[in-house]
Amino acid sequence: MNHAGADVLVGTIGPKRLVAPALTARQLPRVDLVLLSHAHMDHLNSAHASPFFKNHRAVTAKSTADLLPMHELSRPSELAWGEKVRINTAHAKWKSKPFEVKHWGARWRHDSYRGYNGYILSREGKKIIFGGDTAWTNSFRVIARQRPV
Protein backbone atom coordinates (compact mmCIF):
# COMPACT_ATOMS: atom_id res chain seq x y z
CA MET A 1 0.00 0.00 0.00
CA ASN A 2 2.79 2.39 -0.88
CA HIS A 3 0.96 4.08 -3.76
CA ALA A 4 -2.46 5.62 -4.37
CA GLY A 5 -3.68 5.07 -7.90
CA ALA A 6 -4.92 2.59 -10.44
CA ASP A 7 -4.77 -1.13 -9.77
CA VAL A 8 -3.02 -2.99 -12.58
CA LEU A 9 -1.76 -6.55 -12.89
CA VAL A 10 1.63 -5.69 -11.38
CA GLY A 11 0.28 -3.64 -8.45
CA THR A 12 -0.86 -0.09 -7.92
CA ILE A 13 0.53 2.68 -10.09
CA GLY A 14 0.27 6.27 -9.02
CA PRO A 15 1.81 8.74 -6.62
CA LYS A 16 3.86 7.33 -3.76
CA ARG A 17 2.41 7.86 -0.29
CA LEU A 18 4.29 10.50 1.65
CA VAL A 19 2.78 9.49 4.99
CA ALA A 20 1.68 6.03 6.08
CA PRO A 21 -1.93 5.58 7.18
CA ALA A 22 -2.43 6.33 10.87
CA LEU A 23 -3.90 2.86 11.47
CA THR A 24 -4.04 -0.42 9.63
CA ALA A 25 -7.37 -2.09 8.95
CA ARG A 26 -6.68 -4.58 11.75
CA GLN A 27 -6.13 -1.80 14.30
CA LEU A 28 -9.59 -0.33 13.76
CA PRO A 29 -12.63 -1.34 15.81
CA ARG A 30 -15.29 -3.38 14.03
CA VAL A 31 -16.59 -1.47 11.00
CA ASP A 32 -20.40 -1.29 10.84
CA LEU A 33 -20.92 0.76 7.69
CA VAL A 34 -18.63 1.90 4.85
CA LEU A 35 -19.28 5.36 3.31
CA LEU A 36 -17.68 6.18 -0.03
CA SER A 37 -17.86 9.82 -1.06
CA HIS A 38 -16.40 9.59 -4.57
CA ALA A 39 -14.34 7.45 -6.93
CA HIS A 40 -10.97 9.23 -6.93
CA MET A 41 -8.17 6.72 -6.70
CA ASP A 42 -6.80 8.15 -3.47
CA HIS A 43 -10.15 7.34 -1.82
CA LEU A 44 -11.43 4.29 -3.65
CA ASN A 45 -8.51 2.00 -4.38
CA SER A 46 -9.51 -1.64 -4.13
CA ALA A 47 -6.15 -2.75 -2.72
CA HIS A 48 -6.41 -0.24 0.13
CA ALA A 49 -10.15 -0.49 0.71
CA SER A 50 -10.59 -4.26 0.38
CA PRO A 51 -10.24 -5.03 4.12
CA PHE A 52 -13.20 -2.73 4.81
CA PHE A 53 -15.53 -4.42 2.35
CA LYS A 54 -15.67 -7.94 3.73
CA ASN A 55 -19.27 -8.63 4.77
CA HIS A 56 -20.11 -4.98 5.37
CA ARG A 57 -22.85 -2.69 4.18
CA ALA A 58 -21.76 0.28 2.07
CA VAL A 59 -23.21 3.50 0.75
CA THR A 60 -21.57 4.95 -2.33
CA ALA A 61 -22.10 7.80 -4.78
CA LYS A 62 -24.16 7.38 -7.94
CA SER A 63 -22.40 5.46 -10.73
CA THR A 64 -19.57 4.13 -8.55
CA ALA A 65 -20.79 0.68 -7.45
CA ASP A 66 -19.16 -0.91 -10.51
CA LEU A 67 -15.78 -0.14 -8.91
CA LEU A 68 -16.50 -2.06 -5.73
CA PRO A 69 -15.49 -5.69 -5.13
CA MET A 70 -19.03 -7.14 -5.18
CA HIS A 71 -17.88 -10.58 -4.06
CA GLU A 72 -16.81 -9.08 -0.72
CA LEU A 73 -19.50 -6.47 -0.21
CA SER A 74 -22.98 -6.98 1.17
CA ARG A 75 -25.48 -5.09 -0.99
CA PRO A 76 -23.99 -1.62 -1.66
CA SER A 77 -26.46 1.27 -1.82
CA GLU A 78 -25.64 3.62 -4.69
CA LEU A 79 -27.22 7.04 -4.10
CA ALA A 80 -27.58 10.42 -5.80
CA TRP A 81 -28.07 13.70 -3.92
CA GLY A 82 -31.35 13.84 -2.03
CA GLU A 83 -32.07 10.12 -2.17
CA LYS A 84 -32.38 8.22 1.11
CA VAL A 85 -31.70 4.70 2.28
CA ARG A 86 -32.28 2.79 5.51
CA ILE A 87 -29.54 0.35 6.38
CA ASN A 88 -29.64 -2.29 9.08
CA THR A 89 -26.23 -3.35 10.35
CA ALA A 90 -25.15 -5.60 13.18
CA HIS A 91 -25.13 -2.69 15.64
CA ALA A 92 -27.70 -0.17 14.45
CA LYS A 93 -30.39 0.93 12.06
CA TRP A 94 -29.04 3.84 10.00
CA LYS A 95 -30.58 6.37 7.67
CA SER A 96 -28.29 7.87 5.06
CA LYS A 97 -29.02 10.86 2.84
CA PRO A 98 -26.37 12.16 0.40
CA PHE A 99 -25.96 15.87 -0.26
CA GLU A 100 -24.08 17.91 -2.82
CA VAL A 101 -20.49 18.78 -2.03
CA LYS A 102 -18.02 20.93 -3.96
CA HIS A 103 -15.88 18.30 -5.64
CA TRP A 104 -16.12 15.85 -8.57
CA GLY A 105 -16.15 12.10 -9.00
CA ALA A 106 -14.21 11.11 -12.14
CA ARG A 107 -11.31 8.66 -12.03
CA TRP A 108 -10.34 9.12 -15.69
CA ARG A 109 -11.14 11.84 -18.24
CA HIS A 110 -13.84 9.74 -19.89
CA ASP A 111 -15.86 8.88 -16.74
CA SER A 112 -17.09 12.34 -15.74
CA TYR A 113 -20.56 10.84 -15.12
CA ARG A 114 -19.58 9.47 -11.69
CA GLY A 115 -21.21 10.96 -8.61
CA TYR A 116 -19.75 12.54 -5.49
CA ASN A 117 -21.45 12.92 -2.14
CA GLY A 118 -21.36 14.12 1.39
CA TYR A 119 -23.72 12.25 3.75
CA ILE A 120 -26.02 12.94 6.64
CA LEU A 121 -26.18 9.82 8.78
CA SER A 122 -28.85 9.49 11.40
CA ARG A 123 -29.86 6.96 14.01
CA GLU A 124 -31.74 7.11 17.29
CA GLY A 125 -32.56 10.81 16.83
CA LYS A 126 -28.92 11.87 16.31
CA LYS A 127 -27.32 13.14 13.06
CA ILE A 128 -23.74 13.41 11.90
CA ILE A 129 -22.25 14.80 8.71
CA PHE A 130 -19.59 13.12 6.61
CA GLY A 131 -18.40 15.71 4.10
CA GLY A 132 -15.96 13.64 2.08
CA ASP A 133 -13.66 15.92 0.09
CA THR A 134 -15.30 19.31 -0.17
CA ALA A 135 -14.75 23.02 -0.09
CA TRP A 136 -17.40 25.34 1.37
CA THR A 137 -20.79 24.98 -0.30
CA ASN A 138 -24.24 26.39 0.43
CA SER A 139 -25.33 22.80 1.15
CA PHE A 140 -23.92 23.29 4.65
CA ARG A 141 -26.26 26.26 5.27
CA VAL A 142 -29.24 24.12 4.36
CA ILE A 143 -28.05 21.30 6.60
CA ALA A 144 -27.42 23.71 9.49
CA ARG A 145 -31.12 24.64 9.42
CA GLN A 146 -32.01 20.99 10.04
CA ARG A 147 -30.69 21.09 13.59
CA PRO A 148 -29.52 19.40 15.59
CA VAL A 149 -26.62 17.97 13.59
Per-residue pLDDT of the chain (149 residues; tens, 9 = 90+): 676 666 666 767 677 778 877 887 788 887 888 888 887 766 666 555 666 666 678 888 998 888 776 656 667 889 999 999 998 888 889 999 999 898 877 777 777 778 889 999 999 989 999 988 888 888 888 888 887 88
- At 36 the three-state DSSP class reads strand
3-state secondary structure of 29: coil
pLDDT at position 31: 80
**So what's the pLDDT on residue 33?**
84
| pLDDT value of residue 32 | 80
pTM recorded for the entire structure: 0.78
> Quick one: pLDDT at residue 62?
92
Identity at 38, one-letter amino acid code: H
What pLDDT shows up at residue 120? 92
- Amino acid identity at 33: L
Q: So what's the pLDDT on residue 109?
A: 77
Residue by residue, DSSP assigns 80-142 as: -TT--EEEE-SS-EEEEEEE--BS---SSTT-TT----EEEEEETTEEEEE--S-B--THHHH
CA distance 31 to 94: 14
Strand partners, 87: 94
